[in-house]
Chains A and B, each alone.
Chain A
Amino acid sequence: METLDLARLQFAVTSGAHFLFVALTLGLATVLAVTQTRATLTRSDTHLRMTRFWGRLYVINYAMGILTGLVMEFQLGMAWSGLTHFAGNVFGASLAMETLVAFFIESTFLGLWIFGWDRLNRWAHLGVIWVVTITAYASAYWVLVANGFLQNPVGAEVVDGTLRLTDAAAVLTNPDALLAFAHILSGALVTAGFFLAGVSAYHLRRGTAEQEFFRRSLRIGVFTTLPALLVNAAFGGVQFPSLQPMKTAVFGGREAEISRLQAEMVATHGPGDYIPPTAPTQISAMIMLGVFTVLLLVSALSVLLASFRRMVLGSRAWHLLLIAMIPLPFVSMIAGWVFREVGRQPWMVEGLLRTEDALSDLSPGTMVLSLIAFITLSVLLVAVNTWILARSARQGPEAPATGPAPAEPAPVLAF
């Protein structure tokens, strides 16, 4: 493989691993904030314990997600310096805003939330999780402003070989950013909903003593998935007409249209192959849509079943089905990204900068070395995260408080 392929593979694996974590984090944060709000307003012990249990899984997943995110922030400059060179005036600013508006605050408030259970009053602690959730959304927004610009470079013009910002409002309201933002947020809620439902089903199937706890959790999960899937489909659907024409043509396998667009691009940009890899583009889109269909059917069925208490507690076959659904939203989310990113090749910035021209000047040896290291790292992080998450999920919530209040406050903080 050439350096270009190695660099692309490296970024694909790192960002793919990162996106697995993000999908769950974004959705779980929302569920946590709502559950903790309910616990705070009603002083419901069950909801407080739900916040603690699902919060523990959230923190495990969040921490591993940060690590892959760090790698990505650096990798852009390391392997793709052509991008910052050409598009830095637009692309760089949105990443800068992501770190300041979102990541810095998000991490600091996450620290406050994790270690603040006994140190903050319950209203302040509730406020903290909402700040974490809102800044997580802000983070996704700014990243998608950056990505949306690559898909559809609006609000900038080329001056002396580099881009200059001409219309910030156009960049910030780029439909390729906003629609994708809504699509991904709802996709994250689907992921979190099936995660809650699946883990709860596991415990109910094993005949847990925590019936009330997991009955409620399962219902929250199931009732999240259906509206989230519908919103997700809507924002996925409305993106199709505005996709790059070549991506749509390859997806539909319309040969005549593909040849016409190829000829058109040759006329505009000079000789070259402007057709994205056909098989990955089509297969990823089909996986995304196929998995979506399965999830929608299971979700619709589950919403019906979840209305009956006896089914929630006792339907072992349905429990098994819900457990089996846990990985599917992740598959669909990744497939969607592959479609979005592979389908716009050979462009890094649509119509302006080719991926090959964005590559840093690196030797193949350097790239092979770092590729092996970063792939090992990504695989390890995903594997360890999956194992620890499954382990903590199986352990279930802590025993309910027996007295009116714990006998002594925790001597030290734990997370």
Chain B
Amino acid sequence: MEIALLAFFAVGYFVLAGADLGVGMLLPYLGRTPEERGRVLGSITPFFLTNEVWLVTAVGVLIGAFPVLEGEMFSGLYLPFAALLLGWVARDAGIWLRGRVDRAAWRAWCEGAVVAGSWLAVLSWGLILVGMGDGFTVGFGALVAAPLGAVLFAAHGLALAGLRLDGAPLERARRFAGPAAGRTVYALTSGGMALVCLLAGARLPLAEHLADPATLALLTPSMLLLTPLLVASQVWLWWLFGRVQVRQ
């Protein structure tokens, strides 16, 4: 049950927030003018925070139900995780702050933080996801897999952009997937993200690292009880803001 919960929140993160990272990576391609880039970022702004909390919660489940494994994994892959955090924070700061100061140079700096941060986070994910199955070390396989992973994130970002943008940025997003792509492509890339996450997770020694039964007897029912509530709150958010754009 604990493994299913962990998988649920981790897959949720990679499907939902993975597309935000992909859009961030391709920001200079999708938006050629500051105004266009503002619209591209505006398409993910209401959701990026509520998408990334899936990871925060997945890590919470990991700490709670697999504490020893969490420590081994995070300390073993210290540098990739540190890089992930730096990229993640830079990306988020760029999105939050871009619209706060009305100056061209400020916007350019924030956009730079979004693009560089997204790339750094995505490449770090490649190292982490492969390193997870290699005894928490970064080997040759991880270095090869990281750029491949970046391609998947980028494709997923394009798929989301194809659903949420309009005008010239939409044309650019559809150049790869064809004009009628839409939901099918997004479903395909989502499946790809979920598959990668599950394959990487399957290589973790989860079952032998469960927390003490006395802890799980309380923690697991609480988590199971809460999860539908969490999902419901997000569904409400999607339903409200599914069709709107934010001024950036």
Residue ranges of A at the interface with B (Cβ–Cβ < 8 Å):
60, 63-64, 66-67, 70-71, 73-74, 76-85, 88-93, 95-101, 103-105, 107-112, 114-116, 119-120, 162, 164-166, 168, 360-362, 366, 369-370, 373-374, 377, 381, 384, 388, 391-392, 412-415
B65 CB–A CB distance under 8 Å:
yes
Interface contacts beyond A70-B89, A73-B59, A105-B229: sample of 16 additional A-B pairs, CB < 8 Å, sorted by A? A78-B74, A84-B68, A85-B67, A89-B212, A93-B215, A93-B218, A99-B57, A99-B59, A107-B49, A107-B50, A108-B233, A110-B49, A114-B46, A361-B75, A374-B85, A384-B97
The answer to whether B133 has its CB under 8 Å from any CB of chain A is: no
Residues of chain B at interface, number, CB under 8 A: 63
**Cα of A124 to Cα of B54 in the assembled complex, Å:** 24
Is A377 within 8 A of B74, CB to CB?
A: no
Q: List 9 A-B contacts (CB under 8 A).
A: A82-B71, A88-B67, A96-B60, A103-B57, A108-B233, A165-B215, A166-B214, A384-B97, A412-B245
The answer on a CB contact under 8 Å between B93 and A384 is: yes
Q: Is the CB of B67 within 8 A of A413?
A: no
- Check A67–B93 contact: CB distance below 8 A: yes
CA distance A101 to B222 in the complex (A): 9
Q: Does B63 contact A (CB under 8 A)?
A: yes
Q: Taking the nearest CB of chain B, how far is it from the CB of A52, in angstroms?
A: 16
Q: Report B-chain residues with C-beta under 8 Å of the C-beta of A90.
A: 215
Within the complex, the shortest CB–CB distance from B70 to chain A, in Å, comes to: 5
Residue B73 CB within 8 A of the other chain: yes
What chain B residues lie within 8 Å of A360 (beta carbons)? 71, 75, 78
- Shortest distance from the beta carbon of B50 to any chain A beta carbon, whole Å: 5
Complex contact B100–A105 (CB within 8 A): no
Q: Does the CB pair A66–B49 fall under 8 Å?
A: yes
- Residues of chain A contacted by B148 (CB below 8 angstroms): none
**Are B92 and A105 in contact (CB-based, < 8 A)?**
no
B233 touches A96 (CB 8 A): no
A380's nearest neighbour on chain B, judged by CB, is B93
Question: Using a CB-CB cutoff of 8 Å, which residues 194-224 of chain B contact chain A?
Answer: 211-212, 214-215, 218-219, 222-223
A404 to B63, CA, bound (A): 53
Nearest A residue to B82 via CB reads A370
Chain A positions within 8 Å of B72 at CB level: 81, 85
CA gap between A90 and B81 in the complex, in Å: 24
Partner of B63, one of A60, A79, A95, A414: A95
- Docked complex: B216-248 residues within 8 A CB-CB of A: 218-219, 222-223, 226-227, 229-230, 233-234, 236-237, 240-241, 244-247
User: Cβ of A99 and Cβ of B60 under 8 Å apart?
Assistant: yes
In this assembly, does B135 line the interface, its C-beta being within 8 Å of a C-beta of chain A?
Answer: no
Chain B residues whose CB sits within 8 angstroms of the CB of A110 once the complex forms: 49
Residue B150 CB within 8 A of the other chain = no
Contact partners of B212 in chain A: CB under 8 A: 89, 162, 164-165
A184 to B102, CA, bound (A): 36
